[in-house]
Structure 1
């Protein structure tokens, strides 16, 4: 099993080098750290499946899909995983994506852990940095005072509009604290959420929206 994990690691390091700084290999390492921290409170979790799911969870992300990209299944097969292991890992990965609030049902402890671990890296100081890194890579505005956050979106609607980065906080990042599913994930999310709220309030002040009657979202 360790050989499979190492083989997958060797492959994904090169794959994530092609992604921008919001979804690079450092993101994978942080999610892995979060997952291990949460898993310590859930001793029945299968760390082998968790590690593989973390390593591969962004490989098939539609945001980075290009012709010729290797899939998570292809990586697993080339690394020596059998069909049962590969399908278990892919099922765990499907639990992760937000998809505009249209997320998949969690069917395992491992799925819950990986989802919360990934979402923890989307909030707090690192979440703020990642949001603006992604927005910059896609040429998005920092904020748009006339733009309102969307609700009840389909997955296509969520992915199709290049909203300003601050709008993304209101459409996703500020919602994640209340969407955590593990007790440890909920605990860890509290401080990170509070930091984001404080950041947005300071941003409003510095951008000149305090008391202006306009909305910075």
Structure 2
């Protein structure tokens, strides 16, 4: 099976697997990350096949929806790619991307590094920024029945990995605990430039949010 056929088969697999997924982690999230990753890859010396597979499979089984089990996604990706007879080196690279792509509260050190991971990670983080990032954040907060905002509950910027995973804080806190930190954690030049614009939009949104919250106009 040629690489184009493998990508096509992977797209269909992801669409079917995520058919009933939460709106911020569904096929359309994957689609946006995949498209952004391909755009970022243009200016990087990467293996586009690995970038595409990593982007398409990076959230095939997000641990948030599997009782915190971080092995489900890598295992599913390995089994699927093996069924298509993808070479083992490529499979292992994709698995490492899936294992290392997540934010995980900001304190967790990345245990694997590659240019392909840099590109896919930037693309995934881009989908947590700007208008899309805001929409996804409130969608997930609603999914978890969290408060929108509570002035008495301040953001926690020093959470451990477990505290981050188990947080039930209001949705607005997530902007400070993750989203507004991403601009300075991008890997590629193109990613840094793209993130800057989306970051500014989020700052403007929050300014507007607080004014409306206090009924200033």
- Report the TM-score, using the length of structure 1 for normalisation: 0.90
1:73 aligns with 2:75: no
Aligned to 1:213: none
The question of whether the paired residues in 2 share the 8 Å contact of 1:60 and 1:72 is answered with: no
Distance 2:187 2:112 in 1: 9
Aligned to 1:83: 88
Aligned to 1:205: 211
Distance 1:189 1:150 in 2: 23
1:30 aligns with 2:32: yes
From 111, 122, 129, the equivalent of 2:128 is 122
The question of whether the paired residues in 2 share the 8 Å contact of 1:96 and 1:103 is answered with: no
C-alpha displacement at 1:33, in angstroms? 1.6
C-alpha displacement at 1:38, in angstroms? 0.9
Alignment size in residue pairs: 209
Q: Which runs of 5 or more residues in structure 1 are unaligned?
A: 211-217
Aligned to 1:215: none
C-alpha displacement at 1:132, in angstroms? 0.5
Distance 1:192 1:19 in 2: 25
Distance 1:54 1:207 in 2: 37
Q: Which runs of 5 or more residues in structure 2 are unaligned?
A: none
C-alpha displacement at 1:130, in angstroms? 0.5
Question: What does 1:91-106 correspond to in 2, within 5 Å?
Answer: 91-101=96-106, 102-105=108-111
C-alpha displacement at 1:146, in angstroms? 0.9
Distance 1:137 1:171 in 2: 19
C-alpha displacement at 1:103, in angstroms? 4.3
Distance 2:131 2:112 in 1: 27
Aligned to 2:8: 6
From 158, 179, 182, the equivalent of 2:188 is 182
- Report the TM-score, using the length of structure 2 for normalisation: 0.90
1:168 aligns with 2:168: no
1:16 aligns with 2:30: no
